[in-house]
Amino acid sequence: MPHYPKYIDLSPVKNVSGTVRLPGSKSISNRTLLLSALADGKTVIKDLLASDDTTVMLQALQDLGISWLQTETGDACVVTGTRGNLPVKEADLFLGNAGTAIRPLTAALAVLGGNFLLHGIKRMHERPIGDLVDALNESGANIEYVENRGYPPIRIRDGHIHSHDLKVRGNVSSQFLTALLMASPLMARTHDVTIHVVGELISKPYIEITLNLMRVFGVEVERDGWESFTLKKGQTYKSPGTVHVEGDASSASYFLAAAAIAGGPVRVEGIGRNSIQGDVRFVDVLERMGAKVVYGDNFIEVSSGGSLKHIDEDFNLIPDAAMTVAMLAVYADGPSVLRNIGSWRVKETDRIVAMATELKKLGAGVEAGEDWLKITPGKRIFDAEIDTYDDHRMAMCFSLACLCSPNRMGAKIRINDPRCVSKTFPEYFQVFSALSHSV
């Protein structure tokens, strides 16, 4: 990992241009690691993300007795599958602040049985897991809360999954449904398994990622819209041999937004028109705001179309990339409203509060509700010292405030605690700097 100072100072940037090779998707990387561990056979994972979140998943797999190794060239990770039979039945698993690790592991370990303690950093212990635990316990699992009900740390003991008709709420985090789906083949050895979604399901594109990857590993899920998902009995995970991890579409948003603000062209490589990630739809928002977009099979290129247009949209489907839209709103020609972003409140920090607080430092007018944010751009962008709340997306988003657009001068921006970007993109600031051409 790079060395990080206490803060990074960014000077105004006149324009940006260049090409970025994206790091692997966090969502795809951690799902692929767990599926590889549960599968029959060895899986070679290429372009796996190297970050805090994948590091804790790899350590957890090692603690569970699952064999993996990096290739000599360092461009792939080889995981030896267990056919759903974990070698280790008792472990203390530290999972940092990785929701993509703790939630799927909770479901898998609850079904497989053993004695496991799952915990993380302080913020992880403030992020809800109760809906997932309720769904599992009601089906025969034995999961206990160590401290506060509904939140990690949790202890998993031997249970017996007797129900094959599960229910889970969908309005807090799509990761709860993802966790049950990924564990469903472990439950469906003798009976079909159906998972019912109670209420509205948020962040649907992340479920598409899960279903797509399960298919890669040989498991097909039947669905009734977004209301129920059925796995026919007898299906097991089988290694596809080699898996390539797509570039991270959420990380791409910062560089593509930079081009929309400050000229471009900027090309990101590793995702394209056929990406399985929902956050690629962020590019549609850029087009509606006036940016110029070119798609390829494995790249997306954006350049500015002039002053950005304001928007009023629902961002339920792309909540992570919506944070980048909030920064674009600072450069827009009028007030913008981001709706249906309530899931921000249970992420790495309460992102609605954090974004509102820091956007005001830039001189923007901000109004916030339970699940919405209204941003009115100021006449200019103020120099500011930005707090990042140990949230990688806060740091990356607010780096964009140093950019100059056709109608606004970029500001001098200090980003506190830049190390938080190591969660998903350790080299972010070096890559951002390489694109930047100073005033």
Tens of pLDDT, residues 219-247: 999 999 999 999 999 999 999 999 999 99
The Cα–Cα gap between 123 and 284 comes to 32
**Per-residue model confidence (pLDDT) at position 75:** 82
**Per-residue model confidence (pLDDT) at position 439:** 59
Q: 122-135: per-residue pLDDT in tens? A: 999 999 999 999 99
The Cα–Cα gap between 435 and 19 comes to 8
**Per-residue model confidence (pLDDT) at position 78:** 98
**Per-residue model confidence (pLDDT) at position 163:** 87
> What residues of the chain score a pLDDT lower than 70?
1, 439
**Per-residue model confidence (pLDDT) at position 1:** 60
Per DSSP, 381 falls in state P
What strand order describes the sheet that includes 384-386? 7-10, 413-416, 384-386
Burial, 295: exposed, middle or buried (Cβ in 10 Å; 0-12, 13-18, 19+)?
middle
**If we measure between CA atoms, which residue out of 127, 70, 131, 136 comes closest to residue 96?**
127
Give the C-alpha distances (Å, rounded to integers) separating 118 from 92, 102, 146, 153, 245.
6, 7, 10, 6, 26
**Per-residue model confidence (pLDDT) at position 3:** 83
**Per-residue model confidence (pLDDT) at position 338:** 98
Name residue, tokens 């981001």.
338
Give the C-alpha distances (Å, rounded to integers) separating 189 from 164, 185, 231, 235.
11, 7, 10, 7
Q: Which two tokens stand for residue 104?
A: 């799927």
**Per-residue model confidence (pLDDT) at position 362:** 98
The Cα–Cα gap between 171 and 342 comes to 9
**Per-residue model confidence (pLDDT) at position 72:** 80
The domains located in the chain, with CATH, are 7-22+247-438 (3.65.10.10), 26-228 (3.65.10.10)
Does 320 qualify as catalytic in the annotation? yes
- Choice among 320, 387, 391, 417 that is catalytic: 320
